């Protein structure tokens, strides 16, 4: 008979009683046991979009500040992370390159290059229509043309839609370029 073992949610105390363990503590304990300090630092920095200090990353990654800084320097060297100064404190965040690359990999996992190219054509056509309809070249120029009251109306929704489409277009074009460079071997030469 095979015996399945699950980690006990309670610990046995020295006096024979049990001590209830918080499920979050158990998960964090398993995470620190199953991952390396580098993996934990990378996971934390991969999930933040606002600049954050090495001390904050260290606390979240369950490593020392020295260890966090060491791994963050490695990630900065690999262009995965960028830094900024806030007085004496160095703040870290994911680089734009890392974010675009992640989005590109995700998009390529879901769509073929042909589907991406078709989507690019559709987004370009939509942006061209907005430019012609409103007589402006960008969503920012469109926003400057609006009255304050208009920004909260349908025009505000169009402004958001235009900005989102422009961002998605840039990501799709970058994805297609990465796909082509990978296919032709230009990334590995």
List all residues 6 or more positions away from 138 whose beta carbon is below 8 Å from its beta carbon: 166
Res 2 pLDDT > 70:
no
Which residues face 90 on adjacent strands? Answer: 85
64/85 Cα distance (integer angstroms): 21
99 vs 54, more confident: 54
pLDDT for res 4? 46
Over the stretch 102-127, which tens digit does the pLDDT of each residue have? 889 999 999 999 999 999 999 999 99
Over the stretch 8-55, which tens digit does the pLDDT of each residue have? 555 555 655 556 778 888 888 999 899 999 999 999 999 888 999 999
**Residue 104, number of CB atoms within 10 A of its CB:** 21
28 vs 59, more confident: 59
* Helix (H) / strand (E) containing 22: none
pLDDT for res 61? 95
Confirm whether pTM is higher than 0.75.
no
Helices (H), 35-112: 37-46, 54-61, 65-77, 96-110
Over the stretch 131-170, which tens digit does the pLDDT of each residue have? 999 899 998 888 888 765 555 567 778 888 999 999 999 9
pLDDT band at 82 (very low <50, low <70, confident <90, very high): very high
Res 58 pLDDT > 80:
yes
Res 3 pLDDT > 50:
no
pLDDT for res 107? 93
């Amino acid at each position: 008979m095979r015996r399945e073992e699950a980690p006990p949610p309670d610990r046995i105390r020295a006096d024979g009683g049990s001590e209830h363990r918080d499920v979050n503590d158990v998960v964090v304990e398993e995470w620190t046991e199953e991952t390396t300090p580098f993996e934990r630092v990378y996971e934390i920095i991969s999930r933040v979009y606002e600049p954050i200090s090495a001390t904050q990353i260290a606390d979240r990654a369950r490593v020392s500040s020295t260890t966090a800084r060491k791994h963050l320097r490695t990630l900065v060297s690999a262009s995965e992370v960028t830094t900024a100064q806030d007085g004496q404190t160095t703040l870290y965040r994911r680089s734009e390159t890392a974010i675009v690359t992640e989005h590109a990999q995700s998009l390529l996992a879901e769509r073929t290059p042909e589907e991406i190219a078709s989507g690019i054509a559709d987004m370009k056509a939509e942006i061209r229509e907005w430019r012609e309809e409103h007589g402006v070249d960008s969503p920012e120029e469109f926003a400057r043309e609006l009255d304050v009251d208009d920004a909260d109306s349908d025009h505000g929704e169009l402004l958001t839609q235009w900005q989102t489409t422009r961002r998605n277009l840039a990501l799709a074009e970058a994805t297609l370029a990465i796909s082509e460079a990978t296919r032709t071997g230009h990334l590995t030469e």
